[in-house]
Amino acid sequence: MAEKLTLHSDNGHGWLFISYPLMKKYGLSRDSFSSFSYFNDKGVYAEEDCDARIIIKAIKEAGKRIVFKGKHTNGQSKIRSLERC
């Protein structure tokens, strides 16, 4: 079964979201990500250029496929106002 992940973006950047339960399943924590990524009570929004690959690698190494869904925000995303990892 494939993991479904959402790639959030605004006019300037993008973040791949991973929930805390999925992070635990694949051996990840907030400390796995740089300060370019953000988090809230639901999970981590991994910065697209370097941190998103951490998620992708962990899931693929577990032998799972990934299905990506896009979610675009015009203007500035609220993700930018979250706390950084």
The per-residue pLDDT for range 24-72, each reduced to its tens digit, is 999 999 999 999 999 999 999 999 999 999 999 999 999 999 999 999 9
pLDDT value for 1: 85
Residues whose CB falls within 8 Å of the CB of residue 18, separated by 6 or more in sequence, listed in order: 5, 28, 43, 44, 46, 55
Strand ranges (E), the chain:
3-9, 14-19, 38-39, 43-47, 66-72, 83-84
**pTM score of the predicted model:** 0.96
